[in-house]
């Protein structure tokens, strides 16, 4: 067997024994990352939240982020927090990520689904989650846990048998790189 033939045999063997890659992201990482990607669409200068609703077949059926209602111009409505009049701050207007994800659903309903969200849901979103039939909440941060709205959320979730679970990331960062050299990854034949 000459050298060229030998090299060809080795590469054929490599092709035939090729294994799947194992550094792929798992389902939870994928859904939480989708929620975080959606949050990047938010115009809120302080807090960007994203939510991703997933059914029992691991299919995404709704995505949302916090933003002004349709027709309420992002540039005209306020984004401040601590204004003398509540009418001049964002809170009376902004739609929360969870609410948008539920309303944006692309399936008939979101019954028995799981919602992945950056922040633990407030009491208003908790009510929407319960009424929509979502059965599980996976959240990243519970930074407002001491506030009455969030204590109320937990009371309602407990009463309604909604499971809530904090997501503990295995990795702290998932990078999206548009700058891939596709020919280097998989050379054109």
Ligand X SMILES: O=c1[nH]c(=O)n([C@H]2C[C@H](O)[C@@H](COP(=O)(O)O)O2)cc1CO
- Rule CB under 5 A: choose which of 125, 130, 137, 140 binds Zn ion: 125
CA dist 53 and 102 (Å) reads 8
The pattern of x and - marking residues 144 through 163 that bind ligand X according to CB under 6 A reads: x-------------------
Site string for Zn ion, 82-121 (x = CB under 5 A): --------------x-------------------------
Three-class DSSP category at 15: helix
Residue 60 interacts with, from Zn ion, ligand X, none (CB under 5-8 Å by kind): none
If the CB atoms of residues 135 and 139 are measured against ligand X, the closer one turns out to be 139
DSSP state of 175: -
How far is it, in rounded angstroms, from Cα 138 to Cα 156?
Answer: 16
Give the active site residue among 14, 15, 29, 98.
98
Number of residues that make up the chain: 189
Question: 163 - beta bridge partners?
Answer: 136
**Could you give the CA distance from residue 1 to residue 16 in angstroms, rounded to a whole number?**
20
Least distance CB 153 / Zn ion (angstroms): 9
Asked if residue 134 binds ligand X (CB under 6 A), the reply is: no
Pick from Zn ion, ligand X, none: which does 46 bind, CB < 5 to 8 A by kind? ligand X
Q: What string marks each residue from 94 to 133 as x (binds ligand X by CB under 6 A) or -?
A: x-xxx--------------------x-xx--x--------
Residue 117 CA to residue 140 CA, distance in Å, equals: 7
Closest distance between Zn ion and the C-beta of residue 121, in Å? 5
In whole angstroms, how far apart are CA 24 and each of 27, 29, 30, 163? 10, 10, 10, 27
How far, in Å, CA of 11 to CA of 187, rounded? 14
Q: Which partner, Zn ion, ligand X, none, binds residue 170 by CB below 5 to 8 Å per kind?
A: none
Instruction: Give the tokens for residue 6.
Output: 């030998």
Q: Which of 38, 44, 101, 134 binds ligand X (CB under 6 A)?
A: 44
Catalytic positions are: 98
């Amino acid at each position: 067997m000459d050298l060229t033939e030998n090299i060809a045999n080795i590469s054929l063997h490599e092709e035939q024994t090729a294994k799947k890659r194992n550094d792929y992201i798992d389902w939870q990482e994928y859904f939480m990352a989708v929620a975080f990607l959606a949050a990047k669409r938010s115009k809120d200068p302080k807090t960007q939240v994203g939510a991703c609703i997933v059914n029992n077949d691991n299919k995404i059926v709704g995505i949302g982020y916090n933003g002004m209602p349709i027709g309420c111009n992002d540039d005209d409505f306020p984004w401040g927090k601590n204004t003398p009049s509540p009418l001049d701050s964002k809170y009376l207007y902004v739609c929360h990520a969870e609410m948008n994800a539920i309303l944006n659903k692309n399936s008939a309903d979101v019954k028995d689904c799981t919602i992945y969200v950056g922040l633990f849901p407030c009491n208003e979103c908790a009510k929407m989650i319960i009424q929509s039939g979502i059965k599980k909440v996976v959240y990243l941060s519970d930074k407002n846990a001491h506030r009455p709205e969030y204590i109320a959320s937990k009371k309602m979730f407990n009463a309604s048998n909604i499971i809530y679970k904090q997501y503990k990331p295995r990795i702290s960062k998932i990078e999206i790189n548009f700058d891939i050299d596709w020919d280097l990854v998989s050379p054109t034949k």
